[in-house]
Amino acid sequence: MRREHVHLDKLSGLPAIHFAVFLFGASGLFGELISLPAPLITLGRVVSAALFLALIIRLFRIPFKIHNRSDLGGFILAGLLLAFHWSAFFHSIQIAGVAVGVLTFATFPAFTAFLEPLFFREKIRPVNLLWACICLLGVSLVVPAPEAGLQNAEGVLWGIGSGLSFSLLTLLNRRYTALYSHFTLTFYECAVAALCLLPSVLLFDFSPPAPADWVYLIILGSVFTALAHALFIAGMRSIKAQIASIIAGLEPVYGIILAWLILGESISAQTAFGAIIILSAAYGASRKRRARKAANPSL
């Protein structure tokens, strides 16, 4: 095995992605547990993740050299997307709750089904637009009633932005999974995201983090970011992006269940119905694409 392809061989693609998605779902709880603005939570998350990954790369002597300038540009773009994705995700949760945040983020598989043909110069099929519209119908049910206030509706928009940016990040990452270790990819993306978010320290008026916040940030960065992100990228070595999107549709399910168990958050029947529509659209869009690939491998 070449050294630059050191990865989690003992874990097949499916278990790796399933466990990563569970960790991603649980990470939403930290948006409620940490008493800091969303960009600062994200900054603490990526800094602790980058430090943890640097230690892993050092201990296991994993190659981290960037091959060319084109790849460097791709890593910078991925880091910017990652910074926006997590900031939008936590901001959505902080102003609208875990359920709304994770459910609106779950629109990302529909975005992937629509954007993948554009990225890889394939014909855009009307069925993908249909799945996207169905997904938006589900999102409209998740949107709180007008009396709930415009702030919650704003949370929905931030959640959708989080889903779109994660879709773009997933498609971009697929280009590099065969060229770099998943630890290397995650390290550079977190490092770029950290540099991007550093100015946020000057933009927000906040109290110094409490001791509990520091503990939460370290756990969030090392386990629920570095490990989870590396597992997800590692799984994509053997699992197609569309299949990974299906599995990722479970993230809001994990997030809502954990928020109910740990934070005591409730979920209305309308939100639950919207969740079913979103997850069904995400699954249908991905399953349709996978069926076409099975029938015609050249797609």
- Which burial class, exposed, middle or buried, applies to 176 when counting CB atoms under 10 A from its CB (0-12, 13-18, 19+)? buried
Confidence class for position 52, pLDDT limits 50, 70, 90:
very high
Mean pLDDT of 95-107: 84
pLDDT of residue 60 exceeding 70, the answer is: yes
Confidence class for position 57, pLDDT limits 50, 70, 90:
very high
Give the chain's mean pLDDT. Answer: 82
- Interior CA angle at 212 toward 209 and 213, to 5°? 40
Give the model's pLDDT for residue 18. Answer: 85
Mean pLDDT of 154-173: 92
Q: Which two tokens stand for residue 284?
A: 């249908």
Give the separation between CA 168 and CA 83, rounded to whole angstroms: 13
Q: What is the DSSP string of 2-51?
A: -GGG---TTS-HHHHHHHHHHHHHHHTTHHHHS-S-HHHHHHHHHHHHHH
Percentage of the chain lying above the pLDDT 70 cut: 85
Give the separation between CA 125 and CA 57, rounded to whole angstroms: 42
Question: Which of these ranges, 49-63, 68-82, 144-158, has the smallest mean pLDDT?
Answer: 144-158
Top pLDDT among 148 and 56 is at 56
Q: Which two tokens stand for residue 225?
A: 């970011």
Percentage of the chain lying above the pLDDT 90 cut: 32
Confidence class for position 6, pLDDT limits 50, 70, 90:
very low
Cα 186 from chain centroid?
A: 12
Contact between residue 48 and residue 274 where contact means Cβ atoms under 8 Å apart: no
Give the separation between CA 123 and CA 56, rounded to whole angstroms: 42
Q: Report the helix count and the strand count for the chain, using DSSP H and E.
A: 15, 0
Give the model's pLDDT for residue 284. Answer: 75
Within 8 A by CB and 6+ apart from 270, the residues are: 141
**Can you give the residue ranges of every domain in the chain?**
20-292
pLDDT of residue 141 exceeding 50, the answer is: yes
pLDDT of residue 3 exceeding 70, the answer is: no
Top pLDDT among 196 and 147 is at 196
Q: Using one digit for the tens of pLDDT, what is the confidence trace for 280-294?
A: 877 776 665 555 555
Give the model's pLDDT for residue 47. Answer: 95
Count the Cβ atoms, other than its own, within 10 Å of residue 198.
11
